Amino acid sequence: MKRLIAALLLTATPTFAFDISAMSEQEKSAFGDAVREYLMANPEVLIESINVLEERRAADAAINDQELVASNRDAIFDDGHSWIGGNPDGDLTMVEFIDYRCGVCRQFNDEVHDLVEDDGNIRLILKEFPILGQDSDNSARFAIAVKQIAGDAAYMQAHDALIALRGPATIEALKKIADRIGVDADKVVNTMNTEPVTAVLRENHQLAERMAIQGTPTFVIGDELLRGVPAAGLTATVSQIRDTQDAGKG
């Protein structure tokens, strides 16, 4: 009887559910003992239930993230200030929120750009999202200032140099990068704290706040928001997202 009671509890549905409040104290005690006995004898049931719960939570989170992407599409894909590379007419857009002092961003930088180059049909957008202190902020401001002063090609040179920079992002270090890539160092430094640069960072942070983005790297690929590097790898994930996107068009 105890096993039957426990099994009924574990399989209860909206159309067949227990009302434990209708039980007497003695019945509640017996019921609790039965449930405990059942779970102790069948712990795999609890593990299975936890796995189902986690799957449901992950599915709900994915749906919520898709809604966040949909409601912020213009700010994500067409903000008017972010660097755009890869194939501007590609069939899939990949956006990366980056912090130049983020170890994972650095680790996967080559993989991101190799994927875009090898694929040939990805539109890549980079968004500076400095969250790791003053060196992060200095680096982001430098990159944005370079783009505003010297354009996209110079920005990418600055981006690569900042990703490779291992020492502090001091003004002196940033000036050396500017000299190396052929951009007026004093002009870049003097531009770093101006309102046009600050406005870009403010918009990026506001977008991240709306989307509950708290870490880097964070990717938006097509309609999917990926909080971190996907376990399956970027190449496999892009392929899967593209297949889903193509199926939706069919």
For residue 147, the surrounding DSSP H or E stretch is helix 134-150
> Are the CB atoms for 100 and 140 separated by under 8 Å?
yes
Which comes out higher in pLDDT, residue 20 or 142? 142
**pLDDT per residue as tens digits for the range 174-184:** 999 999 999 99
Distance of CA 240 to the CA centre of its chain: 17
Domain architecture of the chain: domains with CATH: 2-71 (no CATH), 80-249 (3.40.30.10)
Helix, strand, coil % in the chain, rounded to nearest 5: 65, 10, 25
**pLDDT per residue as tens digits for the range 35-58:** 777 777 777 766 676 766 566 665
What is the token pair recorded at 10? 């574990």
**pLDDT per residue as tens digits for the range 20-32:** 677 778 877 777 7
Torsion angle, alpha carbons of 27, 28, 31, 36, to 10: -150
For residues 109-113, give the mean pLDDT: 95
Nearest to 131 by CA among 153, 159, 102: 102
Instruction: Say what percent of the chain tops pLDDT 90.
Output: 68
> Are the CB atoms for 225 and 68 separated by under 8 Å?
yes
Dist. CA 100–CA 130, nearest whole Å: 7
Q: Is the dihedral of CA 120, 126, 131, 132 positive or negative?
A: positive
**pLDDT per residue as tens digits for the range 226-248:** 998 888 899 999 999 998 877 77
**pLDDT per residue as tens digits for the range 122-136:** 999 999 999 999 999
Q: What global pTM score does this model have?
A: 0.76
Q: What is the pLDDT of residue 1?
A: 44
Question: Phi/psi at 122 (nearest 5 deg)?
Answer: -115, 130
Nearest to 180 by CA among 154, 201, 198: 154
For residues 139-150, give the mean pLDDT: 98
Using the predicted structure, report yes or no on whether residue 19 has a pLDDT greater than 80.
no
- Mean model confidence pLDDT for the chain: 87
**pLDDT per residue as tens digits for the range 50-94:** 766 566 665 555 667 789 999 999 999 999 999 999 999 999 999
